[in-house]
Amino acid sequence: MVLEATMICIDNSEWMRNGDYSPSRFQAQSDAVNLICGAKTQSNPENTVGVLTMAGKGLRVLVTPTSDLGKILACMHGLEIGGDMNLAAGIQVAQLALKHRQNKKQQQRIIVFSGSPIKHEKKLLEMIGRKLKKNSVALDIVNFGEEDDGKTEKLEALLTAVNNNDTSHIVHVPAGPSALSDVLISTPIFTGDGEGGSGFAAAAAAAAAGGLSGFEFGVDPNLDPELALALRVSMEEERARQEAAAKKAADEAAKQEKGEGQPSGSQDAAMTENVNTATSEADNKANDLMDDENALLQQALAMSMDDPASSHEARDTDMSDSVADDPELALALQLSVQDSTKDVSSQSDMSKLLADQSFVSSILSSLPGVDPNDQSVKDLLASMQSQSEPQQKDEEKEPKEEEKK
């Protein structure tokens, strides 16, 4: 969560009319800018972002560094395309705007979108880069659009001149099916300098990577930042526990070879199948959703059962492609009800159990007011068997809502 003041330099020259990035280069650029502004303001509430256009009638600072996201997004409307981009002047004006930032404690950063050919000499760019480095201004370059002969070389030279300890980055985005914003999301421009970035950035990254339409955890960080933060933190904690438990599991696997317990073995198999119904990511999301909503349920389960590191083992070992059949599930339930001698890592293990929707539905059926024959629950089971992620996520919400009622 670095405290940063950022100036974004937009290329609105004639070259931006081209449609090789859908819908047009300019639109793709605007989307990327909007996402960046959101990510920066999310990662630290005191971050400020400003925007300037490099082409058009002339260089124009649209908004000076501010933390008001609405103002920034508003100024992106009604931008006109035209003219020629002036990269050197753009960077220098951005540097000046940052110099006059209100909070001198903020680190300075410039993000440049370069889509049209560069007419400046390499030497000039290197000089500008050195000046930026001297004043400890970081520079991120997004190289898209026109692929000129010397363009990439000039931009790389600029980057080496500016780069101080890897705080500056360059991203080359070729034209293709994926949107500019999607490509940028996974780059250090979004995620910060390897710190792990903000919840927003991580959410967007996960969404893009997993092909999901919504945010991570199904919660919009803008609407409910505390919940999103809580979910993210619990997921990270869980990951840490998983790793710890994985080590335990490795030890236990050694014990298992000595034939510690047949029931444990079959329990493993059953849990393997149960766990297999979703990827670990979706599972974690489900876990967190469930965790938040069914805290009491978890406690009750924790007391009555223990499922051990077997679920972690399942993750570590190759998961077999199998469908969770009910009889095997019932066996698993029985076995887990019996006291196992294995270590319990409690909460996270409960989460693994809860992740299995069929298991949850059996629990739900024992709860008053919830009908397991309900269409939504059935849809859920069907979708789980077909291992479709997005559907599952949506439908996980439904049984949750059902339960609330």
Partner 1 sequence: MACLHDHSCEDHDCSADWSLYKHIDISKVTALNEAVPGSVKSVFKAWEQRLSSSEEHLESNEGDPELLVFIPFTSDVKIKSISIVGGAGGTSPSKMRAFINRDGIDFSDAQSMQAIQEWDLAENLQGVLEYQTRYSKFQSVASITLHFPENFGGDTTQIQYIGLKGEATQLRRDVVATIVYELMPNPSDHKAQAEGGGGLSHVE
Residues that bind partner 1 (CB under 8 A): 99, 104, 130, 133-136, 164-165
Closest approach, Cβ 44 to partner 1, in A, equals 18
Closest approach, Cβ 134 to partner 1, in A, equals 5
Give the total residue count for the chain: 405
Closest approach, Cβ 138 to partner 1, in A, equals 11
Closest approach, Cβ 126 to partner 1, in A, equals 12
**CB of 108 or CB of 284, closer to partner 1:** 108
Closest approach, Cβ 110 to partner 1, in A, equals 15
- Report strand pairing: 60-66 vs 48-53: antiparallel
Closest approach, Cβ 265 to partner 1, in A, equals 54
Amino acid identity of 380? L
**Interatomic CA distance for residues 353 and 348, integer angstroms:** 9
Closest CA to 342 of 255, 269, 222: 255
Closest approach, Cβ 109 to partner 1, in A, equals 15
**CB of 167 or CB of 264, closer to partner 1:** 167
**CB of 157 or CB of 207, closer to partner 1:** 157
**CB of 165 or CB of 373, closer to partner 1:** 165
Q: Residue with structure tokens 């790793």?
A: 243
**CB of 135 or CB of 178, closer to partner 1:** 135
**CB of 145 or CB of 192, closer to partner 1:** 192
**CB of 134 or CB of 172, closer to partner 1:** 134
Closest approach, Cβ 131 to partner 1, in A, equals 9
**CB of 28 or CB of 93, closer to partner 1:** 93
Closest approach, Cβ 129 to partner 1, in A, equals 12
Q: Is 235 exposed, middle or buried (0-12, 13-18, 19+ CB in 10 A)?
A: buried
**CB of 119 or CB of 134, closer to partner 1:** 134
**CB of 92 or CB of 152, closer to partner 1:** 92
Closest approach, Cβ 135 to partner 1, in A, equals 5
